[in-house]
Chains A and B, each alone.
Chain A
Amino acid sequence: MGLAMSYAAAPPPPPPTHSQTPVGLGVVLPPKTEEKVIKKVDFRNLPCPLPFEEIQREALMSLKPELFEGLRFDFTKGLNQKFSLSHSVFMGSMEVPSQSTDTIKVPTAHYEFGANFLDPKLMLVGRVLTDGRLNARVKCDLTDNLTLKVNAQLTNEPHFSQGMFNFDYKGSDFRTQFQIGNNAFYGGNYIQSVTPNLSLGGEVFWLGHQRKSGIGFAARYNTDKMVATGQVASTGVVALSYVQKVSEKVSFASDLMYNQMTRDVTASFGYDYILRQCRLRGKIDSNGVVSSFLEERLNMGVNFILSAEVDHRKKDYKFGFGMTVGE
């Protein structure tokens, strides 16, 4: 959270008129404060780390946009300050998992209705799909430090419904979380800031019905210019990621995923440009998949989305377009 807060607190990017002489502007704009003071590390006053499941947030944001195939239209209407309704239509094809290597696509279309209640203390989000799936999320601040999160997915097929309770406790320089899910899932994790830039964490989970347990460790190092994370779990997954912020608008991300069980390694490299009228994300990975995702702002609250994903090896091409109205 420390990073997000510092980002939010940063002054809005000044209009790029640096080449001008600061005759008029220099008076209006606040003088650039250089906060490059070398300060001694106060180990009793470390920043609060990010939640354990979000330590790869920057890399995921840049490398994993919501790619889709077909048409989607999202409309959000705020009824008042806290309550809003959302409507979403999707038409396109869905991939069906199959044993053979070639993918099978089935044309689908669905409509999704959602209701959101957003309050600083309480957040309620519900989504209903026409095919009978229901998704509900609750986030509730019980005290200043303790947060309860509930996540439920209900389907009309048996054994596919899921429910999860998370209790998050946020300390001054650590975070811990306890999870209870259906199928006797229990998990817990803990993350601690070690220095102002480095945080280390660990997790334990137990799947009661499958009689499986696991343990994982994670580390995250971030400065204003870069974020590097590493994660190891006893399931045999190693994930490394690195994000370099070149400027306020441009960042480059790369990640490496290694799975000991299936012996497959995937590396990917992507860019993320946040310009004034658009956000563009592109990615290429070692499986020969090239993808890009463009969100273009047409008007206030109207965004146009283009999504492209080309898998050269499987000859699987996915292109999608959509609109997002209202925010």
Chain B
Amino acid sequence: MASQNRRLPAKGRDEGILAKFSESQIVLRGRETAGEVAIVAKKLLRSTGRAAWIAGTTFLVLVVPLIIEMDREAQMNELELQQASLLGTPPPSLAPPPPK
């Protein structure tokens, strides 16, 4: 409040030091570039976000089921090996033909 009160009359007379500074060329350019950088960063963030989304969903659809099923298969093989070593003989027909 106090600063505003002080600056308002100053602006009318001879554009105070702050106003001079804020309207100088460098600051204007700086502000412009900052704005551009912000826009580019926003775009970049958005596109990386989209790329990450696509990569993530693709991974979810293509790779996750594969990992789960390979894990199951490995588990089953291990179980069978254990049984075989316990019982001495391979268990009969735990391997039905795959679905066509």
Contacts and interface: CB of A to CB of B under 8 A. Distances in A.
Q: Do A and B bind each other?
A: yes
B57 A310 contact: yes
B90 A17 contact: yes
A275 B98 contact: yes
B99 A276 contact: no
B61 A277 contact: no
Contact of A282 (B62, B76, B81, B84): B62
Given A275-B73, A292-B65, A303 B99 contact: yes
A279 to B, nearest CB: 5
A247 to B, nearest CB: 12
A277 B98 CA distance: 6
A321 B25 CA distance: 64
Contacts of A280: 65-66, 69
A308 B66 contact: no
Given A20-B84, A280-B69, A15 B98 contact: no
A290 B84 contact: no
B78 to A, nearest CB: 10
Interface residues of B, number: 26
Contacts of A20: 81, 84-85
A16 interface: yes
Given A25-B90, A273-B69, A277-B73, A310 B58 contact: yes
A310 B100 CA distance: 24
A20 B69 CA distance: 24
Contacts, number: 80
Contact of A276 (B54, B95, B100): B95
Given A16-B77, A20-B84, A276 B98 contact: yes
Interface stretch (A102-110, A142-150, A228-236, A293-301): A293-301
A295 B54 contact: no
A117 B95 CA distance: 29
Contacts of B54: 288, 312
The winner among B54, B62, B80 for most chain A CB atoms within 10 A is B62
A24 interface: yes
B89 interface: yes
A293 to B, nearest CB: 9
A180 interface: no
A275 B61 contact: no
Contacts of B62: 282, 284, 290, 292
Interface in B43-100: 54, 57-58, 61-62, 65-66, 69-70, 72-73, 76-77, 80-81, 84-85, 88-90, 94-96, 98-100
A19 interface: yes
B61 A292 contact: yes
Given A277-B73, A278-B69, A17 B84 contact: yes
Contact of B58 (A13, A25, A284, A306): A284
A295 B100 CA distance: 9
Given A273-B69, A292-B62, A308-B61, 4 more contacts: A15-B95, A17-B81, A17-B84, A24-B88
28 contacts: A13-B95, A15-B80, A15-B94, A17-B81, A17-B90, A19-B81, A20-B85, A24-B89, A275-B69, A275-B70, A275-B73, A276-B73, A277-B69, A277-B76, A278-B69, A279-B99, A282-B66, A290-B58, A290-B62, A291-B61, A292-B61, A292-B65, A294-B69, A297-B96, A297-B98, A297-B99, A306-B65, A324-B99
Interface of B: 54, 57-58, 61-62, 65-66, 69-70, 72-73, 76-77, 80-81, 84-85, 88-90, 94-96, 98-100
